[in-house]
Structure 1
């Protein structure tokens, strides 16, 4: 198993070889409890699997590394992470000819509905509230969905590569050709587990619980992008609960991206979280401050702009298991993937926009080096509004 020699961004297609137990943040194991799976899992799951693969590939003494007695060239130590940084982690599909396209859950400003077995896609648009209208929003604009007729909400949809590219360029994706359903990507296989007696190691009577196993369709997996490390070009990973097998293969990836020059010229944009946001101000990204006049301004890595509107789904709680310390990680509230923030009065250059997207919502001193390395607070730019 060889390793890449380039320490710039490397892309890996991770394909499950078995069902996966992608556990979220809900406890299970008590009699009658039910353990849900989270797809895609938090980026920390991929970061942990890839770092474990690197340590095994390099022949590192895992026990000594966990105790901080060994400093890895790119992983550092558990207490002081090195240059390794997961920059993106998303669902993906591999075609018969070997090309890989990324798949994306609908951002919070895209709304899918159905009527008469016909699917529709609409977008939330920031608008000034009508005169006399009051709300708890502290922004000048509010996200509005203008509907001419009532339709039934539709869920479990994923944007394909072309659909995501249209979205980033400010075009509305095609509801027929640019979407996949969850059933196109995976199926849920409920598994029954038995609670064990911690003293005897044998099964306890009546302690049955159910967990969700995720069975991926052929060709469906994940794409993980890593900067600052030399990864094995191929191999096998232990991924998710119970360390189920998944293959990792080096790929060339041309990820969809917004036109940063056009955004700079236009002076406004959207920011879309591509991984959960662990922000010091809750749902408000790092680098944004509230001024005395009530306005919110972003000032980070050479990008300055006013935040005029946001649509952020209900927060989720991120934790995980720290293998080195053999204890749970701290539970943190996160802004979900797909949260959208609208910015105007943009004062920057395309190069500065690219630097900010590369850094993610982390300051120069970095609020949490471990969570940064695990791939949180990542986002992409998109055109301000839909054509």
Structure 2
């Protein structure tokens, strides 16, 4: 796998799969999904090597995309600059008394006697951790950064306390969306079509500036990998064929030395999805039995796990263009990045199986995995019951 940094030269216009509307809005500014980046990388790889755009390109594995926060002062990029989506088991709460914003962790917990819900048998609900400690916050949920530093996510999964200020400083809050108004041109007369206006919303790849800082101090690049060479310096990404610079890099997270032993000792782990994931049965992977919630992850050979809990946001639409067949793809329902699943290990686990969980892809469909969907970060988790 060879890794590349993609730096858009203009705000990115990424379609959501919804019917196209004449009037756009800020919610339409979105980070490119894996299939968009996979198509762009395979296209530029084919142009670099003289290959034709056919179904053979689909066999090239692509991983990512993640984001990278690039300081404008020229500092060398390290793992601390890698950005990942906010995990779904975290909420931002503002304390009404102190006016401070806190991170509230949700975790699987057993029902109290007499309580229950309609979750599948054996699946635990998630409760806010502060409800059962002395750190209960009298406040309400507020918005915050949707992108975290990779290092902050790793620390959070180890149980570390992270401040909201730290998340804001190390993470990414995109600048205001770039909304442009366009007109339709008659192909024959080359005149403006009366009354035909439409808008596009672009994602600005900059860090949102603060009140006391007139200019942003960082831009954001896209980090992805492909099993192939890329020699050309520019590619087209997203709608309107907007240009982006592409350059090789070695920036990719490496597996921690203590991860394997930590998961084996805890007899459980979480999977936090860093890219959207596609399952055939909605929220439930096909590699788990729907009755017992047990199975073997696709990256493993003998690891037997049981799903204990899950945290995920509402599904989002996904579509695209098939370069090989030259037609639009069917729309799909994606589980957004940040979704977190809790698994308990049944029986023994080998070091090789645990190691194979590191930044693997966990979609049901092999092609979705090759396209970069379902990239997940594993972390040790010990169940109390």
When the two structures are aligned, how many residues end up with a matched partner? 354
Take 1:189 and 1:150, find their aligned partners in 2: how far apart are those partners? 37
Deviation at 1:199, TM superposition (A): 7.3
Q: What corresponds to 1:128 in structure 2?
A: 110
Counterpart for residue 93 of structure 2: 113
Counterpart contact for 2:110–2:125, Cα < 8 Å: yes
Change (3 A) 1:156 1:221: farther
> Is 1:16–2:8 an aligned residue pair?
yes
Establish whether residue 150 from structure 1 lines up as the match of residue 138 from structure 2: yes
Q: Is the 8 A contact 1:164 1:173 kept in 2?
A: no
Tell me how large the CA RMSD over aligned residues is.
2.7
How far the C-alpha of 1:342 sits from its partner, in A, is 0.8
Aligned match of 2:230: 231
Q: Which residue of 1 aligns with 2:215?
A: none
Summarize deviations over 1:171-212 as a string: whole Å, max 9, x none.
233322233498744331210022455776653211212221
Residue 48 of structure 2 is matched in structure 1 by: 57
> C-alpha distance in 1, partners of 2:156/2:50?
44
1:186 is paired with a residue whose SS is coil
CA distance in 2, matches of 1:277, 1:47: 15
**Per-residue displacement from partner, 1:278-311 (whole Å, max 9, x unpaired)?**
11121112311134xxx31131322211111111
Name the structure 2 match of 1:373.
370
Equivalent residue, structure 2, for 1:176: 165
Q: CA deviation at 1:168?
A: 3.5
1:72 equivalent in structure 2: none
* Contact 1:303 1:356 survives alignment (8 Å): no
User: Alpha carbons of 1:182 and 1:299: their partners in 2 closer, same or farther (altered >3 Å)?
Assistant: closer
CA gap of 1:350–1:286, structure 2 versus 1, over 3 A, is: farther
SS in 1 for 2:203: strand
Contact 1:16 1:247 in 2 (8 A): yes
Q: Does 1:248 align with 2:246?
A: yes
1:77 Cα shift? 2.2
**How far 1:246 sits from its partner (Å)?**
1.1
**Are 1:141 and 2:124 matched, yes or no?**
yes
1:166 Cα deviation from its structure 2 partner? 0.5
User: How big is the shift at 1:337?
Assistant: 0.9
TM-score (normalised: structure 2):
0.83
**Are residues 1:335 and 2:311 paired?**
no
Compared with structure 1, are the counterparts of its residues 173 and 149 closer, same or farther at alpha carbon in structure 2 (3 Å cutoff)? closer
- Residue 331 of structure 1: how far off its partner (Å): 1.0
Look up the match of 2:284: 284
Any idea what the Cα deviations from partners look like across 1:191-248, whole Å, max 9, x if unmatched?
Answer: 002245577665321121222122222431111123x32333x611211111111111
Gaps of 5+ in 1: 1-8, 69-75
Q: How does 1:1-387 map to 2 (within 5 A)?
A: 9-30=1-22, 32=23, 34=25, 36-60=27-51, 65-66=52-53, 68=54, 77=56, 81-82=58-59, 84-95=60-71, 96-100=74-78, 101-115=81-95, 116-138=98-120, 139-145=122-128, 146-147=130-131, 148-157=136-145, 158-180=147-169, 184-196=173-185, 202-217=191-206, 218-226=218-226, 228-232=227-231, 235-255=233-253, 257=255, 259-291=259-291, 295-300=292-297, 301=300, 302-346=302-346, 347-357=348-358, 359-362=360-363, 367-369=365-367, 371-384=368-381
Contact 1:35–1:210 (CA under 8 A) maintained in structure 2: no
Q: CA deviation at 1:353?
A: 2.2
Q: TM-score, normalised by structure 1?
A: 0.82
CA distance in 2, matches of 1:345, 1:161: 25
How far the C-alpha of 1:152 sits from its partner, in A, is: 3.1
Query: Residue 368 of structure 1: CA displacement?
Result: 4.3
- Retained in 2: the 8 A contact 1:90–1:104? yes
For 1:290, what is the secondary structure of its paired residue?
coil
Q: Distance in 2 between matches of 1:214 and 1:112?
A: 23
